[in-house]
Amino acid sequence: MSKAPKKAPKTPVSDLPETEISTSASRNPLIHAQGDERDRASATDDLPDIDLDDLLGEEADEATDQAIALPAHVAGSGNLDKLVDKARSYAEAATAENTNKAYRADWKHFASWCRRKGVDALVPSPAIIGLYITDCAKPQDGSPALSVSTIERRLSGISSNYRQRGLYLDLKDRHIASVWAGIKRQHAKPPVQKEPVTPEELLEMVATLTFGLRDLRDRAILLIGYAGGMRRSEIVGLDVNRDETEDGRGWVEIEKEGAIVILSTKTGWKDKEIARGSSEQSCPVHALEQWLHFAKIAHGPIFRRVLRDNSGVQSDRLSDKHVARLIKRTMLSAGIRSELTDKERLALFSGHSLRSGLASYAEVDERYVQKHLGHASAEQTRAYQRRRDRFRVNLTKAAGL
């Protein structure tokens, strides 16, 4: 008599990914189906409908290996090989993780195209690159054309991959430059900007949250992210204390007057002050203190996954995608832009909407906003504030009309 097959062990609740936990909370599959525009643009947008990892193997990741390697005349050893591996990890860390992901996707797309056309992707030929971007702008196979911004990033990713291999691609060569100029002239469109969250909208979004553990965390994310003018990767990259994790982006020091956020940037370490708010309901520092207290977090990542039953937290750091999903979910729950369909409303906001919200609506001198956001030039800050200042001055009436 044969034995009945054993049942597969149940996955512990604490091992479930945050996406599974938040699906039931959001109650809207559009949030997960649509995701965030930046996620798609930096990962798998416009890639052919094939398994590129199987097709290309490790080819797309060989560039860093070739760039960082022992000289041919030096014999390998355990210690040297370990140093090579560490040097490669530092080379990867020279650019942001999202940039690295985007560049890997760009190279895979280009290498796949080259294989289909029967040309060698490892030979930096300006003529071939010119044909490639032509096919991206006007595909021969009937697939959707890539946007000008996506093609521009493809060129950056391909050029970066060649540099890592010790090869040179002349982007100013006429085969590339003239074709690229024509593509921009014919196909360039104004950039589609996501809506900034206004202060009033933020408070409405926060008001939809309860005082359960998960909502305490999400309240702190929204308020700290907004008041700090922070990118979503910076928010989830925060640690409680200094030098606690290898993947941390910075840490927070809480004082009587507020919190000081110390962040790692491309040009070094920078700090920004987040003062206490006018009430506990809107205070980002109070929200952070409440989350840390009730979640019993004293070290390591600040923002973590919460167990499904809201009884505790895991040690894992939240994905930055959670910030975008949180903004979309609370925006829907608060009834913001209710005259639009859910799909249209979701398309308006992204993970950047917190940072752009502070930049657009903070009623202070632009110098303070520029410093707070770490903008290299005042023009970057003014681009946000122009939205705030629309129609403040009526030149039509001033002209006597």
| 329-377 per-position pLDDT tens digit | 999 999 999 999 998 889 889 888 998 888 888 878 888 888 888 877 8
Q: Taking the C-alpha atoms of 277, 282, 284 and 289 in order, what is their torsion angle to the nearest 10 degrees?
A: 100
Q: Mean pLDDT across the stretch 186-214?
A: 91
Q: Which residue has the higher pLDDT, 27 or 155?
A: 155
Q: Is the pLDDT of residue 49 over 80?
A: no
Whether the Cβ atoms of residue 346 and residue 34 lie closer than 8 Å to each other:
yes
Q: Where in the chain is the domain with CATH 1.10.150.130?
A: 28-187
Q: Mean pLDDT across the stretch 394-400?
A: 87
Task: Determine whether 161 is exposed, middle or buried from the number of CB atoms within 10 Å of its CB (0-12, 13-18, 19+).
Answer: buried
Cα three-residue angle 242-351-370, rounded to 5 degrees: 65
Q: Is the pLDDT of residue 51 over 50?
A: no
Q: Which range among 6-15, 38-47, 317-326 shows the weakest confidence by mean pLDDT?
A: 38-47
In eight-state DSSP terms, residue 7 is P
| 259-318 per-position pLDDT tens digit | 999 998 877 888 999 999 999 999 999 999 999 999 999 999 999 999 999 999 999 999
pLDDT of residue 250: 93
| 63-113 per-position pLDDT tens digit | 655 567 767 666 667 778 888 888 888 887 778 778 889 999 999 999 999
Q: Which range among 31-35, 67-71, 393-397 shows the weakest confidence by mean pLDDT?
A: 31-35
pLDDT of residue 72: 65
Q: Mean pLDDT across the stretch 113-141?
A: 96
Q: Mean pLDDT across the stretch 194-213?
A: 93
pLDDT of residue 300: 95
Q: Is the pLDDT of residue 178 over 60?
A: yes
pLDDT of residue 195: 87
Percent of the chain with pLDDT over 70: 81
Q: Is the pLDDT of residue 53 over 50?
A: no
CA–CA distance, 215 with 347 (Å, rounded to integer) = 23
| CATH superfamily of domain region 199-388 | Intergrase catalytic core (1.10.443.10)
Q: Where in the chain is the domain with CATH 1.10.443.10?
A: 199-388
pLDDT of residue 364: 80
CA–CA distance, 171 with 29 (Å, rounded to integer) = 42
Whether the Cβ atoms of residue 130 and residue 175 lie closer than 8 Å to each other:
yes
For tokens 């925060």, what's the residue?
238
CA–CA distance, 392 with 198 (Å, rounded to integer) = 17
Q: Is the pLDDT of residue 7 over 50?
A: no
Given 1.10.150.130, 3.40.718.10, 3.90.1200.10, 2.40.50.140, which CATH number is that of 28-187? Answer: 1.10.150.130
Q: Which residue has the higher pLDDT, 221 or 359?
A: 221
pLDDT of residue 87: 86
The two counts, helices (H) then strands (E), for the chain are 20, 6
Q: Taking the C-alpha atoms of 206, 209, 210 and 214 in order, what is their torsion angle to the nearest 10 degrees?
A: -110
Q: Is the pLDDT of residue 216 over 90?
A: yes
Q: With cut-offs at 50, 70 and 90, classify the pLDDT of residue 153.
A: very high
The chain-wide mean pLDDT, for the chain, equals 82
Strands of 238-239's sheet in order across: 238-239, 250-254, 258-265, 268-275
Whether the Cβ atoms of residue 215 and residue 337 lie closer than 8 Å to each other:
no
